[in-house]
Homo-oligomer: A and B are copies of this chain.
Amino acid sequence: MTGFVEEHAEEVDRAAARIRGQVRRTPTVTTDLDPTLRLKPECFQVTGSFKPRGAFNAVLSLVARGERPTGVIAVSSGNHAQAVALAASSVRLPALILIPEDANPAKVAATRALGAEVIQEGINFANRERRLREVMAERGYTLVHPFDDWDVIHGQGTAARELLADAPDLDVVAAPVGGGGLLSGTAISAKRHRASIKVVGVEPAAADDAYRTWKSGAIQTLEASPATLADGVRTTAIGSRNFEVMFGQGLVDEIVTVSEEDIAAAVRTAWSRLHLALEPTGALTLAAYLSDRLPKGRAGLVLSGGNANLQTVATILKAE
């Protein structure tokens, strides 16, 4: 094992200890699909996605380092928003979340219900980073980045750490990739567990920046927010820390892409045969498995979350 892996894996160990009691140890599930397949359904995590693992580690680490933040801030239209709101409220810090105006109202309401202040006015996907810097400067709050942050990466690594404790014999571990927070943490935990384990990132073909980044060896950026069912991975590029873990250090072996039809079919299979109500992003690794795009061997799939738009899912189910 390289010093890099060991050093970061020890940070994942510390993250696991830090967030214990705040996040759930989700179960490892076996299915009727394949006796060797193992699932890590993060839809059962607090707030319905893996995101609180990283958000709690970031917020609790801030406090533990004595940085005395006056509040935390994040920009997100989805699962990261709820995770940061919850983590901040657990240490009685104000949380301010910027959410684009066209976001799902249910997610905005869920974020407010967790005690966060939400700003939507004038926020869109294109200007959100600039607006974030402006509001940060006004308020003096500390940013919790959704993926390009070591504390967040180490927190996300706790999911694969649990999976491999439950299923130590896995040959392959797959996780979805958007900004790369979950995949980076997964890769650190998996390569520490066994250097020969294959780590695979899965993204929609319609949002293949990570695939092109892997192939080219330099960060590639999508021109616009991609149109995909998997709305949790619409980020246009991975972060620099994520690049370092995934490709700089080479801890990710492969990026595979799946079609929108593959994603819809995986959502249907998840709901009808596995009885897991996943959001499309949460079904990405299952889509790769079902379409035979993973390396051979016993596979563990991180299923990232379950916060689906019910109308979208009802349409997918009716299409069967």
Question: Shortest CB–CB separation between residue A204 and chain B, in angstroms?
Answer: 21
Is A65 close to B, CB under 8 A? no
* A103 interfacial contact with B, CB 8 Å: no
B residues in contact with A249, CB < 8 Å:
none
Within the complex, what minimum Cβ distance (angstroms) separates A320 from chain B?
Answer: 6
Rounded to whole Å, the gap between the CB of A29 and the closest CB of chain B is: 6
Provide the A264-299 mask, 1 if CB < 8 A to any CB of B, else 0. Answer: 000010111111111000000000000000000000
For the complex, is A46 an interface residue (Cβ under 8 Å from B)?
Answer: yes
Measured between beta carbons, the chain B residues less than 8 angstroms from A275 are 41, 43-44, 48, 276-278, 306
Q: Does A127 contact B (CB under 8 A)?
A: no
In A288-320, the 8 Å CB interface with B consists of 306, 308, 310-311, 313-315, 317-318, 320
Q: How many copies does the complex hold?
A: 2
CB distance from A86 to the nearest CB of B (A): 9
A27 within 8 A of B: yes
A271 CA to B43 CA, complexed, in Å: 11
Q: A275-B277, A310-B271 are in contact. Are A27 and B29 (CB under 8 A)?
A: yes
- A48 and B41 CA atoms in complex are apart in Å by 16
Q: Which residues of B contact A241 (CB under 8 A)?
A: none
User: Chain A 10-21 against B: per-residue CB contact (8 Å), 1 yes, 0 no?
Assistant: 000000000000
Q: With A and B bound together, what is the CA distance between A47 and B27 in angstroms?
A: 19
Closest to A41 in B: B275
Nearest-neighbour CB distance to chain B for A44, whole angstroms, equals: 6
Q: Count A-side interface residues using an 8 Å CB cutoff.
A: 32
Bound state CA distance, A42 and B173, in angstroms? 26
- Nearest B residue to A29 via CB reads B44
Nearest Cβ in chain B — how far from A311, in angstroms?
7
* A44 cross-chain contacts in B, Cβ below 8 A: 29, 31, 275
Binary per-residue interface labels of chain A (23-66) against chain B in the complex, 1 for a CB within 8 Å, 0 otherwise: 01001011110000000010110111000000000000000000
Contact partners of A308 in chain B: CB under 8 A: 272
User: Are B27 and A27 in contact, CB atoms less than 8 angstroms apart?
Assistant: yes
Q: Give, as a whole number of angstroms, the nearest-CB distance from A90 to chain B.
A: 13
Considering the chains assembled together, what is the distance between the CA atoms of A218 and B320 in angstroms?
Answer: 45
Contact of A272 among B30, B273, B277 (CB under 8 A): B277
- Chain B residue numbers with a CB within 8 Å of A318 are 310-311, 314
Q: Residues of A with Cβ closer than 8 Å to B?
A: 24, 27, 29-32, 41, 43-44, 46-48, 268, 270-278, 306, 308, 310-311, 313-315, 317-318, 320
With A48-B275, A268-B310, A270-B277 known, 16 other A-B pairs at CB within 8 A are A27-B27, A31-B44, A32-B47, A32-B48, A43-B275, A44-B275, A271-B310, A271-B313, A272-B308, A272-B310, A275-B277, A276-B277, A310-B320, A313-B317, A314-B314, A314-B317
A-B residue pairs, 6 tightest by C-beta: A275-B306, A27-B27, A43-B275, A314-B317, A275-B277, A314-B314
